[in-house]
Structure 1
Amino acid sequence: MKIASISENQNIEKRIAITPEIAKKYISLGIEVSLPENYANHLGFKDEEYKAFGVSILKDENEIIKNADVIVQLGFLNNDKISLLKENQTFIGVLSPYDNKDKINSLVEKNINTFSLDLLPRITRAQSMDILSSQANLAGYKAVVESFAKFEKAIPMMMTAAGTIPAAKVLVVGAGVAGLQSIATAKRMGAIVFATDVRMASKEQVESLGGKFLTIEDAENLETEGGYAKEASDDFKKKQEELLSETLKKIDIVICTALIPGKKAPLIIKEKMINNMKAGSIIYDLAAIQGGNTAHTEVDKVVDKNGVKIMGETNILNKLPTSASNLYAKNVFNFVSNLYDKENKKMNINLEDEIIEKTLIK
């Protein structure tokens, strides 16, 4: 069996799907690996490093795709490359099926086995493949680092002969994987941290990290069976808005992470709330690419509203591409290993396996 990956458009995606360490693991399973020249040069992984493990380094990306049984990427190939895919090949990536229905349908119609890793079920056996968790962890960490870099005051409390500098107050909106890592990072750096989430199950997790969970009186638990947040009722939104309006008046840095799978990000921090925040405050919106959690989020811009800086990027993980690639490649390897029939050296698409059944787009 042959597995391959080609270069992403580095203007929008610096991560890679196969690192040298993971290429070695594929080859140890008896899987041939093909990559284009300079595939990971930008991350410091040279072609010679791959070749040393037995990887075929080729010039022609079209030939790589045509000859592969399995192609692994971060997202979609461009249209010219997609047209090269043929029946019974397997294509694996983070395909955002809610946003790319037409592209996915074209692959399914050609009988290409199409797997989207953002559809992985939240079960114990899938944890080693969970790309959303591994990447969100890094995003939550980096959002705090980026926010603190823009904040023009000290973060931890400092006691000096000239007086005391109070600790910065951080609010994390959404206590999923990214939010919990944001809480942990902000606490490690000396901030006082508050957090809010529509899922009441997250209260214990927030408090275990040293954060204070902001609760709404008579709150409903808005959690799906898969552990994700679902949309709140109008009554809940009103109560949440009142709580946030008061809280934000004393907050220095806000990290927004609230997302609803398959839908536009919920608008949580409205214009009047921002107007009541202190000048010099920072909002980092990790939901920017899906519309943002604030009234003024603009992707890849720092918006200044009365001295409050609002930030959000297309892909924050481009600032941690090596760490993100190492985790992503391991997740993908574990996923492929689950599909791979070692005895017959081919893919085994067993729809009785929940992981395979949930991620295969039909």
Structure 2
Amino acid sequence: MKIAVARESVLGEHRVALTPDQVSRLIKKGWEIVVESGAGNNSLSTDDAYQQAGAAIEGDRQTLWQSGDILVKVAPPTAEEIDLMPEGSMFASLLNPLGQPEVIQQLANKKITALGMELIPRTSRAQSMDVLSSQAGVAGYKAVLMAAAALPKFFPMLTTAAGTIRPAKVFIIGAGVAGLQAIATARRLGAIVEAFDIRPAVKEEVQSLGAKFVEVELNEETATAGGYAKEVSEDSKKKSQELIAKHVATADVVITTAQVPGRRAPVLVTDAMIAEMNPGSILVDLAGEQGGNCEGCVAGRETQVHGATIIAPINLPSTVSVHASQMFSKNMSTLLQLLIPENEINLDFEDDIIDSVCVTHAGEVRNERVKGAIAQTAVTA
């Protein structure tokens, strides 16, 4: 079994799909691994480190892309990269299938078996493969550091000869993996933390991290079967926004984390709410690439709105490339071992994990939601 590890070509993507430590473990299973030269440079994994782990280094990009039984990378492939893949080959990465349906159609047209890492089901059996969770944790951590660096105040309470400095107030909207990591990081830095989520089930997790849970009572189901927040009625949205507004107004820092795959992110913090914040307040919007949870945010930029600063970073996990790569690599390695149990690819669609992640196979798009997105793209084109 031969695995090819590609170098990322997207600007700003510094992660690598397999790190030398995971490469070493897979090679001990009898697998052959070839790594494109420079693939790990931005995550401090050198070609020498891969060679010491037992991998071969390939300097020619076209040869690398055509050399493995399975090709793995982090970011979705570009049209040019898909052209490099042999027809009928297998590929695994993040695919953004609902956001880039045209890429999925191109993969299907070339009969490529494409595995989308973000489609790992949210089950206890799949936890060690859950890329969305591992990378969201990185984003939540880094979001707090960015806010702390930008805020013209201290995070912790300080008692000094010059007087006592009150701690910063941080309000986190969304208590998924990113939100919970943001809570933990802000608490470690000494801030007073409040968190909001429409799912009452997360209250205990929020409180266990030392934050106050801001609870809203809604007369409807607020979570999907997988535990993610679901879209609620207009009445519930209005009720939630009224509560959010009260806490945004008194916060020094607001961090928003709500994203919906393939759709515009919900607006949670309105322009009117921002106008009520104190000058110098900071908002970090983790949904900037999907339009943002904060009115006025611009993806990849810092925007001044009513004296507050909205920061909407792009691909935050990539800015912590060493540990983000280690986590992504563990997720990828575990999926590969499920897919190749006896040194042969076993594409068992009776397995819920394999069935979920396999987006295209034998010239067909297998995911119904992605089929719908492709059809919609064709209509609007």
Tell me which interval the TM-score lies in, with the shorter structure as reference length.
over 0.9
Which position in structure 1 is the counterpart of 2:254?
254
Which position in structure 1 is the counterpart of 2:5?
5
Secondary structure of residue in 1 paired with 2:24 = helix
Contact 1:13 / 1:318 at 8 angstroms: preserved in 2? yes
Q: 2:354 aligns with which of 343, 353, 356?
A: 356
User: How far apart, CA to CA, are the structure 2 residues paired with 1:44 and 1:5?
Assistant: 15
User: How far apart, CA to CA, are the structure 1 residues paired with 2:226 and 2:353?
Assistant: 13
Secondary structure of residue in 1 paired with 2:198 = coil
Amino acid at match of 2:299: V
Question: How much has 1:118 moved relative to structure 2?
Answer: 0.7
Question: How much has 1:87 moved relative to structure 2?
Answer: 3.5
Which position in structure 1 is the counterpart of 2:371?
none
Relative distance call for 1:219 and 1:163 in structure 2 (3 A) is farther
Question: How much has 1:218 moved relative to structure 2?
Answer: 4.1
User: How far apart, CA to CA, are the structure 1 residues paired with 2:196 and 2:188?
Assistant: 19
User: How far apart, CA to CA, are the structure 1 residues paired with 2:124 and 2:264?
Assistant: 28
Alignment of 1:59 with 2:55, yes or no, is no
The Cα offsets for residues 142-177 of structure 1, whole Å up to 9 and x where unpaired, read as 000110000111111122233221111000000000
Contact 2:218 / 2:236 at 8 angstroms: preserved in 1? no
Secondary structure of residue in 1 paired with 2:311 = strand
Which position in structure 1 is the counterpart of 2:68?
68
Relative distance call for 1:71 and 1:153 in structure 2 (3 A) is same
- TM-score, normalised to structure 2's length? 0.91
The Cα offsets for residues 38-74 of structure 1, whole Å up to 9 and x where unpaired, read as 2222332221221122211111111111121101111
Which position in structure 2 is the counterpart of 1:213?
213
Secondary structure of residue in 1 paired with 2:86 = coil
Question: How much has 1:31 moved relative to structure 2?
Answer: 1.3
Which position in structure 2 is the counterpart of 1:346?
344
Farther off after superposition, 280-289 or 227-236: 227-236
Contact 1:198 / 1:232 at 8 angstroms: preserved in 2? no
The Cα offsets for residues 334-357 of structure 1, whole Å up to 9 and x where unpaired, read as 000000032xx2210011111001
Question: How much has 1:219 moved relative to structure 2?
Answer: 5.2
Question: How much has 1:111 moved relative to structure 2?
Answer: 2.3
Which position in structure 1 is the counterpart of 2:155?
155
Amino acid at match of 1:347: I
Contact 1:95 / 1:118 at 8 angstroms: preserved in 2? yes
User: How far apart, CA to CA, are the structure 2 residues paired with 1:161 and 1:84?
Assistant: 66
- Could you tell me which runs of 5 or more consecutive residues in structure 1 were left unpaired when the two chains were aligned: none
User: How far apart, CA to CA, are the structure 2 residues paired with 1:220 and 1:203?
Assistant: 17
Contact 1:87 / 1:111 at 8 angstroms: preserved in 2? yes
- TM-score, normalised to structure 1's length? 0.96
RMSD value over aligned CA atoms?
1.4
- Could you tell me which runs of 5 or more consecutive residues in structure 2 were left unpaired when the two chains were aligned: 360-365, 367-381
Secondary structure of residue in 2 paired with 1:320 = helix
User: How far apart, CA to CA, are the structure 1 residues paired with 2:179 and 2:221?
Assistant: 18
Which position in structure 1 is the counterpart of 2:198?
198
User: How far apart, CA to CA, are the structure 2 residues paired with 1:150 and 1:143?
Assistant: 11
User: How far apart, CA to CA, are the structure 1 residues paired with 2:109 and 2:312?
Assistant: 36
Secondary structure of residue in 1 paired with 2:66 = helix
Alignment of 1:226 with 2:226, yes or no, is yes
Alignment of 1:330-345 (within 5 A): 330-342=330-342, 345=343
User: How far apart, CA to CA, are the structure 1 residues paired with 2:38 and 2:161?
Assistant: 55
Question: How much has 1:89 moved relative to structure 2?
Answer: 1.6
Which position in structure 2 is the counterpart of 1:85?
85
User: How far apart, CA to CA, are the structure 1 residues paired with 2:10 and 2:99?
Assistant: 21
Which position in structure 2 is the counterpart of 1:106?
106
Which position in structure 1 is the counterpart of 2:278?
278
Secondary structure of residue in 2 paired with 1:332 = helix
Relative distance call for 1:219 and 1:143 in structure 2 (3 A) is farther
Alignment of 1:268-347 (within 5 A): 268-342=268-342, 345-347=343-345
Farther off after superposition, 285-294 or 21-30: 21-30
User: How far apart, CA to CA, are the structure 2 residues paired with 1:259 and 1:79?
Assistant: 26
Q: How much identity, in percent, do the aligned residues show?
A: 40
Secondary structure of residue in 1 paired with 2:238 = helix
User: How far apart, CA to CA, are the structure 2 residues paired with 1:44 and 1:87?
Assistant: 33
Which position in structure 2 is the counterpart of 1:187?
187
Question: How much has 1:282 moved relative to structure 2?
Answer: 0.3
Higher RCO (CA-CA < 8 Å; seq separation 6+): 2
Alignment of 1:159-178 (within 5 A): 159-178=159-178
Contact 1:229 / 1:259 at 8 angstroms: preserved in 2? no
Secondary structure of residue in 2 paired with 1:341 = coil
Question: How much has 1:109 moved relative to structure 2?
Answer: 3.1
Question: How much has 1:330 moved relative to structure 2?
Answer: 0.8
Which position in structure 1 is the counterpart of 2:39?
39
Contact 1:170 / 1:251 at 8 angstroms: preserved in 2? yes
Which position in structure 2 is the counterpart of 1:140?
140
Contact 1:140 / 1:180 at 8 angstroms: preserved in 2? yes
